[in-house]
Amino acid sequence: MTSVTRFAPSPNGLLHLGHALSAIIAHDTARRNGGRFLLRIEDIDIERRRPEFVSAIFEDLNWLGLTWEEPVLVQSEHFSDYLAAADRLIAMGLLYPCFATRKEIADAADPTKTDPDGAPLYPGIWRGASAEAVGARMAAGETPALRINMDGAMQALRAKRGDEPLTFIEVADDGSEQTITTDPARWGDAVIVRKEVPASYHLSVVVDDARQGVTHVTRGQDLLAATDLQRLLQELLDLPAPVYSHHRVIKWSDGRKLSKSNQDMGLRALRDEGATADDIRRVIFA
């Protein structure tokens, strides 16, 4: 099978060494076995995205010597597709509107219960709300987020698969494969369509990985737990499951995670200091 890999950065900042690792592994995997390497701009976060970060992505990847197929998929041009996928989940009775603010959620949440990202687990404020209560907020001009009813989704999964667990294949650096059993319920009633934009990361990523025929997802280990929720959405939406490789997260020597706001490890800054693409490969594969 020809592998189709992708690099899917969000243009909310400049790329750093962690991005270089994701991009280079995905690129080299495709090149090694005659596959295809795709680039996708994940710019659904319309408040944080900036056009200059999109140009910087192209510039940095070019500098790294990577080439990708055109055209580049730009997520903000496909909101209607993410809504169509959400509509299918609505038709299955698995999404419900939620008007709660971050503060309302934090106040009502059980502090001992958090999702894998450490955010408070949604305490179900709007789950089972009456049509009148929802209608009143809509009439006042408010837009809700749409959350997944996780109990309902797990039931739908059981109805489809019986006792067969929902898994994914994780491919290690040495090529060995491990089957990982997911536990999507630990995300609780996660947001599938955000208030501010008609999509969410989890929804758009599964729609696009399927649309683009991606067979192999390469990304940082910080997204490993997100795979459980994404596998659930794939299964509910009858989308194929790629295999995954979650690589190590590159950190500062004192253990802090690299971030887009802290640009000392940014590719542009390293280039400006005279680093070459070969230097970057040496550092990230050290």
For ligand GLU, the closer of residues 38 and 193 by Cβ is 38
- Cα 234 to Cα 209: distance, rounded to the nearest angstrom: 10
- Are 67 and 37 a contacting pair, CB within 8 Å? yes
Locate 263 and state its tokens. 């640009």
- The reply on whether position 223 binds ligand GLU by CB under 6 A is yes
CA angle 150, 151, 155 (to 5 degrees): 110
- The reply on whether position 8 binds ligand GLU by CB under 6 A is yes
- The reply on whether position 9 binds ligand GLU by CB under 6 A is yes
Locate 189 and state its tokens. 């009633």
- The reply on whether position 219 binds ligand GLU by CB under 6 A is yes
Which x/- pattern over 164-203 shows residues binding ligand GLU (rule: CB under 6 A)?
----------------------------------------
- The reply on whether position 205 binds ligand GLU by CB under 6 A is yes
Q: Give me the least distance between CB of 219 and ligand GLU, in Å please.
A: 4
Locate 228 and state its tokens. 């459980």
CA angle 179, 182, 188 (to 5 degrees): 170
Q: Give me the least distance between CB of 113 and ligand GLU, in Å please.
A: 25
Please give the single-letter amino acid code of residue 40.
Answer: R
Q: Give me the least distance between CB of 114 and ligand GLU, in Å please.
A: 20
Please give the single-letter amino acid code of residue 257.
Answer: K
Strands 73-74 and 36-41: parallel
- Cα 140 to Cα 117: distance, rounded to the nearest angstrom: 32
For ligand GLU, the closer of residues 42 and 60 by Cβ is 42
- The reply on whether position 57 binds ligand GLU by CB under 6 A is no
Under the rule (CB under 6 A), what is the footprint of ligand GLU? 8-10, 42, 205, 219, 223
